[in-house]
């Protein structure tokens, strides 16, 4: 994929979320089932440190592409009365509610990568106990960009802390895969774009004419390559499928930082 196509896809997604923030957020209210399994690791490996404050344990969490803060609301409720400090980053302010106490930063991560800069140099968050990115990696074009996003999450996490990432695999559902093929072909023609890389699709939204967003369907070998690319920085401790009607539309990767 050439640089011009990458920039077009990134702009397409930025425009999509700005134009459809309300309708998109309305479909993203409930916690994902996979988060419960992620939470088991948070509870089970002493990430909650009761020595930091006298009245309750503290956990610091960094969330890349936080969206409407569903994960923050889920974690705060599930770990109550633990005191959790959240640092969240997104590029669509209209998605982010002001109902939670979160240290929020507006930042276009993909623009940083296209400019050849280091993501972590642009972040206003400290190194945290836990770094997550849910529902974002499928919007990241190019293998080298995905590797750098994963590396940035690891760099943002203390030694012994965890990184948790989801990878959308919508083509595991035959109906979704067929619809993706049809929509992608129509979108490429309408937008005058060349064929995309393997696993890349332009998906529609609520059958609205001319409304598309770029998404990547991940294969297990691709996830293997990503894990191998950061092996010197973090070790894989868990990988599992969850979410969607079939319970397998996301693969979760959990890494422990060395």
Domain around 213: 3-257
Q: What is the pLDDT of residue 51?
A: 56
CATH classification at residue 211: 3.40.50.150
pLDDT tens digit string along 207-216?
899 999 999 9
In sign, the C-alpha dihedral spanning 92, 93, 94, 99 is positive
98 pLDDT tier (thresholds 50, 70, 90):
confident
Q: What is the pLDDT of residue 102?
A: 94
Mean pLDDT of 159-181: 97
Q: What is the pLDDT of residue 104?
A: 96
pTM equals: 0.94
pLDDT tens digit string along 182-213?
999 999 999 999 999 999 999 999 889 999 99
Report the number of distinct structural domains present in the chain: 1
User: Which range is most confident: 19-33, 69-83, 108-122?
Assistant: 108-122
> Among residues 217, 55, 242, 249, which one has the least CA distance to residue 141?
217
**Residue 34 to residues 20, 244, 254, Cα–Cα distance (Å):** 25, 10, 11
106 pLDDT tier (thresholds 50, 70, 90):
very high
Q: Is the pLDDT of residue 133 over 80?
A: yes
Q: Is the pLDDT of residue 53 over 70?
A: no
Q: Is the pLDDT of residue 55 over 70?
A: no
Q: What is the pLDDT of residue 130?
A: 96
Report helix, strand and coil shares of the chain as percent, to nearest 5. 40, 25, 35
The SS3 call for residue 163 is strand
Instruction: Quote the percentage of the chain above a pLDDT of 70.
Output: 95
**Residue 113 to residues 86, 121, 125, Cα–Cα distance (Å):** 24, 11, 18
Q: Is the pLDDT of residue 74 over 60?
A: yes
99 pLDDT tier (thresholds 50, 70, 90):
confident
Span between the terminal Cα atoms of the chain, in Å: 33
50 pLDDT tier (thresholds 50, 70, 90):
low
Q: Is the pLDDT of residue 177 over 70?
A: yes
Q: Is the pLDDT of residue 168 over 80?
A: yes
Let me know the angle formed at the C-alpha of 236 by 231 and 242, rounded to the nearest 5 degrees: 135
């Amino acid at each position: 994929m050439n640089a011009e196509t990458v920039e077009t896809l990134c702009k397409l997604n930025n425009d999509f979320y700005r134009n459809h923030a309300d309708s998109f957020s309305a479909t993203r209210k409930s916690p994902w089932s996979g988060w419960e399994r992620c939470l088991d690791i948070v509870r089970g490996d002493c990430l909650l440190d009761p020595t930091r404050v006298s009245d309750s344990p503290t956990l610091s969490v960094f969330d890349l592409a936080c969206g409407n803060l569903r994960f923050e609301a889920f974690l705060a409720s599930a770990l109550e009365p633990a005191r959790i400090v959240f640092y969240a980053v997104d590029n669509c302010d209209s998605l982010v509610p002001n109902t939670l106490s979160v240290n929020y930063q507006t930042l276009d991560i993909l623009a940083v990568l296209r400019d050849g800069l280091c993501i972590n140099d642009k972040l206003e968050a400290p190194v945290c106990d836990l770094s997550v990115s849910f529902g974002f990696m499928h919007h990241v074009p190019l293998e080298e960009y995905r590797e750098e996003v994963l590396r940035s999450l690891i760099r943002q996490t203390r030694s012994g802390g965890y990184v948790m990432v989801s990878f959308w695999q919508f083509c595991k559902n035959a109906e979704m895969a067929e619809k993706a093929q049809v929509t992608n072909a129509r979108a490429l023609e309408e937008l005058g774009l060349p064929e995309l890389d393997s696993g890349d699709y332009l998906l529609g939204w609520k059958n609205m004419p001319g409304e598309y967003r770029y998404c990547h369907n991940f294969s297990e070998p691709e996830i293997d390559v990503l894990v191998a690319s950061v092996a010197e920085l973090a070790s894989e401790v868990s990988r599992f499928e969850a979410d969607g009607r079939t319970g397998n539309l996301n693969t979760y990767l959990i890494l422990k930082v060395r």
